[in-house]
Homo-oligomer: A and B are copies of this chain.
Amino acid sequence: MYRPLDPPSRILLGPGPSDCHPKTLLAQAIPVIGHMDPAFVAIMNEVAELLREVYGTQNKLTLPMSATGSAGMETVTVNLIEPGDNVIVCVNGLFGERWVDVATRAGANVTVVEAPWGEAIDPADVEAAIKQGSFKAVCLVYAETSTGVRQPLEDIAKIAHDHGALFVTDCVTAIGGIPIEADKVGIDAAYAGTQKCLSAPPGLAPVTFNQRALDIIMNRKTKVQSWYLDLTMIAQYWGGTKRAYHHTAPISNVFGLHQALGLIHEEGLENVFLRHATLGKALQKGLEAMGLKLLVKNPEHRLPNLTTFLIPEGIDDATVRSQLLSQYGIEIGGGLGSLSGKIWRIGLMGHSCRARNVIMVLGALETILTELGYKCDKGASLAAAQEVLAEK
């Protein structure tokens, strides 16, 4: 019955997980030590400090939750929200929709502010909504993984604060790919994942809370509905003066994240962001030169690390992605929800974000599409990408 593990070799250019640096993978092969070992506590402190750097924050309560990014969404929600609280959730993609569901399960009265998928939320719509009541929080996705939209944060942060609400953001696809600057922007709480631009395997959800958010958590009237995600206890394990046992931390994942964050620190955050910005632009120019249409019309709202574009008329989604996987070992993403079958998503995230991958995926896509009868100016995509790459 038992077949030894033998997974295929892939290049991961979907919306996450991304490829990991070999050093990060090897860090996960380091023998496990105990979750209360003084040596592990020191590593936890270093991970928290490195996370503060990518979040752009001094927040004491900054740590990786012991579950994947989606549990990060649930963590900020169930800790900050008590049943009956009013919150605004901005929805312009699948992850905004999910947040409505998560907040509703936490007992919140949710007011939804919408924008079409592929567009950013209009701050004026948030302002109009927040004037209608008293809200505890405004929840906003910074980088919408389902659409590739980069949401400007500053205006909505100001609106939330002017009306006494917390400003809470989803940074899953943003972290390590584009600047967050949580303290400067005024983010009160945020969550992320490890498997995108941090290029650690999935399994942890880095979160950060400022003092204002922490005070709200510590002064709740009701218990957090999730024992596992209850920060009133977890904060004691990750940052208390006496480290109190809560649950057994996923040691190997923390080792992997430590190494992945170390690589970012050594490259330098500004260099990391520039690499994502340049290569994302090269990919997008290349796709446009192939005659493909980007989903996000406003260039300022395009994520560099996750590019979304329309599947051409007459081309079958599954056929192309399956050929990319089987013939080239390249994974790209399909559309989610209402965009299923309509768009593709190419991630250039973390270790996957390299010039060779831009050239490779453009070439492979052009080859498959033209074999399927798609007409384009052969080689134009490579030339367009090269032009951006040469700008450096």
Query: What residues make up the interface of A, taking CB atoms closer than 8 Å to B?
Result: 1-5, 7-10, 12, 14, 16-17, 19-20, 25-35, 37-40, 43, 46, 49-50, 66-71, 73-74, 98, 101-102, 104-106, 193, 195, 201-203, 223-228, 245-253, 255-256, 258-259, 261-262, 265-266, 325, 331, 336
B27 and A10 contacting across the interface, CB-CB below 8 Å: no
B201 and A251 contacting across the interface, CB-CB below 8 Å: yes
B17 and A34 contacting across the interface, CB-CB below 8 Å: yes
A260 smallest CB distance to B (angstroms): 11
A120 smallest CB distance to B (angstroms): 24
B102, B247, B253, B255: the one contacting A7 at CB < 8 Å is B255
Complex Cα distance, B32 from A69, in Å, reads 16
A2-B265 in contact given A29-B29, A39-B7, A67-B71 (Cβ < 8 Å): yes
A73 smallest CB distance to B (angstroms): 8
Complex Cα distance, B265 from A163, in Å, reads 60
A259-B5 in contact given A17-B251, A67-B66 (Cβ < 8 Å): yes
A13 smallest CB distance to B (angstroms): 10
B10 and A247 contacting across the interface, CB-CB below 8 Å: no
Give 7 closest A-B pairs by Cβ, nearest first: A203-B250, A29-B29, A28-B28, A70-B247, A67-B67, A201-B252, A25-B29
A60 smallest CB distance to B (angstroms): 17
A248 and B19 contacting across the interface, CB-CB below 8 Å: no
Residues from chain B with Cβ under 8 Å of A193 in the complex: 248
Residues from chain B with Cβ under 8 Å of A5 in the complex: 27, 30, 43, 255, 258-259, 262
Complex Cα distance, B253 from A246, in Å, reads 20
- Majority DSSP secondary structure for residues of A touching B: loop
> Which interface residue of A16, A25, A106 has the most chain B CB atoms within 10 A?
A25
A227 and B70 contacting across the interface, CB-CB below 8 Å: yes
A175 smallest CB distance to B (angstroms): 14
A2 and B50 contacting across the interface, CB-CB below 8 Å: yes
Complex Cα distance, B104 from A265, in Å, reads 43
Complex Cα distance, B251 from A17, in Å, reads 9
B34 and A12 contacting across the interface, CB-CB below 8 Å: yes
Complex Cα distance, B74 from A224, in Å, reads 13
Residues from chain B with Cβ under 8 Å of A35 in the complex: 17, 202
A203-B66 in contact given A39-B8, A252-B252, A266-B2 (Cβ < 8 Å): yes
- Sample of 16 more A-B contacts, CB < 8 Å, known A17-B35, A74-B226, A201-B253: A5-B258, A7-B39, A7-B40, A10-B34, A10-B37, A17-B32, A25-B28, A28-B28, A32-B195, A33-B331, A37-B331, A101-B227, A104-B223, A202-B249, A226-B226, A253-B253
A248 and B17 contacting across the interface, CB-CB below 8 Å: yes
A29-B32 in contact given A262-B2, A336-B245 (Cβ < 8 Å): no
A46: nearest chain-B partner, CB-CB: B3
